[in-house]
Structure 1
Amino acid sequence: MLSSLIAQWETANLAAFELLGKVVTQSANPAGLPGAVTDVGAWRAFARTALQAGQRYTTVCQSALDESWREQRDRLALKDTAAAVKQLATLNADLATRLAQGHMQHAGALADAAAQYLDDLSHTRGVADLAMAFGKFSGDVQAQSRAHALHVASLAGGVAPALAQWADTNLTDDMERAS
């Protein structure tokens, strides 16, 4: 890319020097000789040539910059990068959704266990029934918490392989994929 930019830069400079040569040859009385008559047409040609030189130089420079940008844009593969970002966002959204669903299920299960505990308390006849209801409630809470912890652990265990697969798919150089 740098050699291409340098070549275009050299072309622009060469064109500028050629136009400068035209300016010098078209200018009237370049040495300021006494008694020489100034030719208005020559000065118009000089001004036109100077403007053309500036326009051409600007055009060549802009063309070189545009070509350089296109090369960089193509090298960056912005469409592929956008797709990779979308895939990563999808992974994140999927994980967040599953985690939120697990939390909601756990909260619902704990609420059910608490409701059942209160219902069981309403049927107790003594301390023994109270202890039995509390033991059942504790067992239910422990079972629901264990199930929730296993759900969160399974989600956490799946994050690293999913990210590794995403990275392998999206961050590997084309040269590495070819080999």
Structure 2
Amino acid sequence: RTDPEVAKHIHESPKSMIIPLSILAVLSVGAGLLMGFPPEGGWIHNFLGPVFAPANQILQVEHHAFGALDVVLMIVSVAVALAGIALAYLFYVKRPDELPQKAGERAGWLYRAVHNKWYIDEIYDATIIRLVVDGSRWVYRWFDSAVIDGLVNLAGKIWVFFGKMIRPFQTGRAQNYALIMFLAVFVIVAVIVL
């Protein structure tokens, strides 16, 4: 069912992915063996028991034995996972030409919904992505025009204002410039002294 052009580009994961995942898998199995089964009977539980006992007494937490429900849930979840793996193998490895087609025809809308990942991508795109993209565009336009352009225009207006204030003193005559400098020094000294 895969497009031949796409099939050319499908490849096994590189070693840079396989090696870390293998290390994590070994460490996970090791941690599971270290904890033991049931978890409350393992080495780590007995090792940390004295540490948590005083805190449990203060918090008045009762210690319950490992329940049968936990074991049942573990067995059911592993059975469901193994059944899914077996069905996937049967559908897509053993009989890929007939079973997926038959299942799709019999299941109808359910098969289409599962095949399209319950339309989660479409719903997510129509709600979250659209809102974020459109909202970001609006904020960008507002921020760019009001804040950025506003600051640039404000700086220009400030310099135009000062230019208008100074323009009468820009006569081109050296005597006027000397008088302005003398008055400015006089004012500065008066402010410092007083």
Shorter-normalised TM range: 0.3 to 0.5
Q: Please give the TM-score of this superposition, normalised by the length of structure 1.
A: 0.35
Higher relative contact order (CA closer than 8 Å, sequence separation 6+):
1
